[in-house]
Chains A and B, each alone.
Chain A
Amino acid sequence: MDASASVETHHDPHAHAAEHEHHELGWWRKYIFSTDHKVIGIQYGLCGLVFLFFGFCLMMMMRWQLAYPGQAMPVIGKWLPYIFGAESMPDGKMTPNFYNSLGAMHGTIMIFLGVVPLAFAAFGNFVVPLQIGAPDMTFPKVNAASFWAFAVGGVIMSMSFFVPGGAAKGGWTSYVPLAAFDDTGPDRNPVFNGQTLWLIGFIFLITSSLLGAVNFITTIIQLRAKGLTWMRLPFFVWAQFVTAFLLLLAFPPLEAAIIMQLMDRLAHTSFFLPAGLVLNGVPVSISGGGSPLLWQHLFWFLGHPEVYVLILPAFGIVAEILANNSRKPLWGYKSLVFSVLVIGFLSFVVWAHHMWMTGMGSTVSAFFQTTTLLISIPSVIILSAFFISLWGGSIRFTVPMLFATAFLPMFGIGGLTGIPLAFNSADLYLHDTYYIIAHFHYIVAPGTIFGLFAGIYYWFPKATGRKMNDFWGQVHFWPTLICMNVIFLPMFLQGMAGMHRRWFDGGQGWNVANEHTIWGLTGFQWNHPISWAAWIMGLAQIPFIINFFWSIKHGEKVNDNPWEATTLEWTAPSPPPHGNFVTTPVAYRGPYEYSLPGCERDFTMQNEPVEPTERTRRKPPAELVPA
């Protein structure tokens, strides 16, 4: 028994019942078809990491084409035709169609199969029940169903690379009418083609996130430990709570849109198709009467809340790690909570700022411009509170803390560069340039993904009982940080110089990318340092991968609370058994009671009862109180 459990004074009479009920499950039920939230969390996490790496590989291939357009890919070039088919990579040279597939699938995989499963489902499943002192999620079977729906969706999406014609090419946004006619025609199977499989895969992913979201919200409402009131919840739980609501309410309209696009493709309806379309010189035989703008509205109704689905869990993770490693309470806990709620609400009324170019009209634009600027206020409050939390702390620069502190300026750059895009006059110029790519990647790549790395290093000891190696963590962190910036900073320059984000040749054939130099390189030439940084960053992930798997068996053994943290998950054994806690936890205080005056240790856990003398002890010294 560790030190933290020894201070536990409350003993529930049923506490040990859990152990008596425990019966051995077979290997398959225990590790594969499990209903335990921790196993499901780890399954989600591993799948998410694999998909993140897969999505990154797609991008590394695209970076070759952008830097060296039309040249055969070295080393792996001769193998790729065997994997993706000779019509995608003839002699190792990328075709435009295949480039489009890679682009569309990079976005789809990174967002829906990488970050969301990792940030929301993996961390949420593993950490939330532990942090609120619950034995499991409220609906364990629904939880398992959620994972398996995700797995099926992932398989369908990945499989679509190998059907005739290759994976979806319509961008991750699948704008109609192009997407409605992609992969149609006599030589394509009506169902087993890239775009249709993309749509079908999505239905499974949406089902998965629906089941997950219902489960998370119910768990947080119903299974909080005794004494764990709403304002005593760790900020991470709040972030997941709001994220779950976003998924619950924003995804269904996209599902409606996907059903309609499926109808357009399979039943030849015209939900999104206006009359008079001509395909390859032949008028299309459809009834018409549909609206491409309708797809964009429904898509971005999900698309924008989705951005906050990506970032809010990372906020939560970073908050936990900042408080823990600065040995100080999180500054402005209540304003953080209300900010995250306001973000959740406002994120539903900003979607059309993705559609300035469609000519919706100035009244609509003015409305969405206003709401878009409003939503920056709570985001700035959160980021400021994080910075102030560091002020005067005795900071421990552990590996999770490195990632968490790097998150702050990276997210800051991403956020501030978004403000010009909120104004539709500025956006008309910057729209669809590399500026946009740089802006949102600063938020999700060095932003969210740094948050996720921080979370992995931070909670790894809870999941395995061992720590990941610090040295190799540093070897992972520094090159990744440098490469991220070498990749994305020049893209702001490229974008402002007018380089379009969808050029297949990286700008080689376009005057605007070759005539002017920016800091000595033309827009096109900037692709070289960017691409090299991307490949070096790929190499920099190898220490992480090895460290991750090696530490599971051989990492340094640590106690149940290696970071000397305060929240409830650290009172459970590492790894927690089925049912999680040895004794049913009770919360007596807020989540971040670090460095309480007059205490022996600089952290006081949530399950430590408040001593009668504590209140008087916590009063500031008399000389600090103004007369």
Chain B
Amino acid sequence: MEIPYTISTRPDTGLWNAKIGIWLFLASEVMLFGGLFSAYIFLRIDSAPGMWPHGLLNVPVGTFNTCILIMSSVTVVLAWASLKMRRYRAYWWYMLATILCGIIFLVVKLAYEWPQKYDHFGIYIKPEALGKHEQYLGNAYAAEKELPPRLEITGHLHNRAALSDPNIKEYEVALDPLNADPTNPSMDRPHFFPLPVTDKIATIEKKDVERATMFLPTHNAYFASYFTITGLHGLHVLAGVLVFIYMWLPVSKKLYQRSPEHLANRVEVSGLFWHFVDLIWIFVFPLFYLL
């Protein structure tokens, strides 16, 4: 028993099976990420003034990762084209480049960007204590410039024991530049190159604190959607890399020798998936880093 149109196209549809299959799969993926992005929109529109943070992510690193992914999209097309021209060595090199790009992306994400967030600390001040911390928040200045109210003090937590020890009554925080100098007009908008944490240390009493956590998913709706969406996107990148590694290993060389068109088709459908993963990132990048 042979299933028809696995490699050759069906005359009246002009397609082979897996190509329809992958497009349908991608349609479903659009709905999956569509659901998540609409949740993002819903939560962001719903958020109270000052509760949706801006400029907390590292834009240059995000830009670098965007370039890496776009580059990998180019190399995977070149890999497929090389197979179509039956140049296996070129295919092998382009595929390796694609895999490496995917791995670089994941390493930057998981080993640099995410841990940097876990290390950052944010304190939401109780509404009644906002005035007491005016020197760090500059709400009068913000109101004057028609900026959203500032409810949060961020920076690096010095006394980490304060997180778990109820006997420690205050947090000592090395302030981010905005909280160190809240009335400086250059702090009104986020910076492309993130500014380092200052030496200025603030001591904030726990009784004035509404909520204080590291920048984890639980910190606020923004980080919840950031970690969920980039995490799911990261899983997709990982899946793509694993598939590409399989197609780059010697097993696939055997398939190439038996039926080069079959391998080319496989690279084509996984390439389509890879482009889709890139496309998702093209939405993720502005939504979380820029807007």
Contacts and interface: CB of A to CB of B under 8 A. Distances in A.
Interface of A: 17-18, 21-22, 135-136, 138-140, 142, 210, 213-215, 217-218, 221-223, 248-257, 259-260, 263, 267-271, 285-287, 289-291, 294, 297-298, 301, 578-580
Nearest to A266: B217
Contact of A578 (B1, B4, B51, B211): B1
A22 B1 contact: yes
Contacts of B283: none
A389 B15 CA distance: 37
B221 A136 contact: no
A248 B27 CA distance: 8
B31 A140 contact: no
Query: How many interface residues does chain B have, given as a range?
Result: 35 or more
B85 interface: no
A138 B21 contact: yes
Given A139-B21, A256-B35, A257-B35, A248 B1 contact: no
Contact of A138 (B3, B39, B224): B3
A172 to B, nearest CB: 19
Nearest to A210: B28
B218 A210 contact: no
Contacts of A271: 39, 43, 221, 224-225, 228
Nearest to A209: B28
A287 B27 contact: no
Nearest to A249: B31
Contact of A253 (B27, B31, B211, B221): B31
Contact of B46 (A221, A251, A289): A289
A135 B35 contact: no
A141 to B, nearest CB: 11
26 contacts: A135-B3, A135-B4, A136-B3, A138-B5, A138-B17, A138-B21, A139-B17, A139-B18, A139-B21, A221-B15, A222-B5, A222-B15, A222-B17, A223-B3, A248-B27, A249-B27, A253-B34, A253-B35, A254-B35, A256-B32, A256-B35, A263-B217, A269-B228, A271-B221, A287-B220, A290-B224
A205 to B, nearest CB: 14
Q: Residue among B3, B15, B213 with the most chain A CB within 10 A? A: B3
B1 A294 contact: no
A217 B221 contact: no
B47 interface: yes
B118 interface: no
A256 B221 contact: no
Contacts of B32: 252-253, 255-256
Nearest to B24: A214
Given A253-B34, A256-B36, A285 B211 contact: yes
Contacts of B46: 289, 291
B156 interface: no
B55 to A, nearest CB: 19
Nearest to B34: A253
B48 interface: yes
A538 B6 CA distance: 47
Interface of B: 1-6, 10, 13, 15-18, 20-21, 24-25, 27-29, 31-36, 38-39, 42-43, 46-48, 51, 211, 213, 216-221, 224-225, 227-228, 232
A294 B17 CA distance: 37
Contacts of B13: 221-222
A21 B2 CA distance: 9
Given A140-B3, A289-B51, 9 more contacts: A136-B1, A218-B17, A252-B29, A252-B32, A259-B228, A269-B221, A290-B43, A290-B224, A294-B39
A549 B33 CA distance: 45
Given A135-B1, A291-B46, A252 B232 contact: no
B224 A263 contact: yes
Nearest to B20: A218
Contacts of B227: 263, 267
Nearest to B45: A291
Contacts of B211: 285, 287
